[in-house]
Amino acid sequence: MSNQITIQPTKFVNVRSGDSSLGVRVYDNYGQSYTNTWESIPDDDLEILKLVLELEDKVVCAMMDFLQEDQKTIDIGGEYYSWDEIKYLFLDDEEMINDDMLKCDHCEKWIDVEDAISQGTHHSSEKWCPECVKGKQND
Ligand SMILES: [Zn+2]
């Protein structure tokens, strides 16, 4: 059975005092950890993942290493993200370029080189992602 890593945005409630705090639970088939010191939980799942990657928790770090090594899909609050969707958070710019990815010149999202669409402009030729090109056509 494959090991699924899950990040669960969580409101922790003390059942005696009623005090609550915010953070995430991070778990897989073998271990679990949590942090409950966040002021708020981002709406954007990938922003949540970014914060999780900054945690200095040993259990969480080991899970994130495993995720990167095995290029796994991650579950963030019930939504599944493939390695391709999240890898830019794990790799530095140079590694992404080696992996044939480039940044959309418009929205700065990482895209596959093959998905990039050339946008001829007056000064230079920009590479845009398909979504930005579509947005432009709808203007
Ligand atoms: Zn774009």
| Domain extents in the chain | 5-89, 93-138
User: Global pTM?
Assistant: 0.81
Is it the case that residue 48 has pLDDT exceeding 80?
Answer: yes
Distance of CA 108 to the CA centre of its chain: 15
Distance of CA 92 to the CA centre of its chain: 14
Cα(90) to centroid(ligand 1), Å? 20
State the burial class of residue 16 (Cβ atoms within 10 Å of its Cβ: 0-12, 13-18, 19+): exposed
Among 10, 102, 106, 110, which residue's Cα sits nearest to residue 51?
10
Residues around ligand 1, an ion, CB closer than 5 A: 104, 106-107, 129, 132
> What are the CA-CA distances from residue 28 to residues 4, 5, 48, 66, 113 (Å)?
6, 4, 17, 11, 33
pLDDT tens digits along 116-134: 988 876 667 889 999 999 9
Cα(67) to centroid(ligand 1), Å? 26
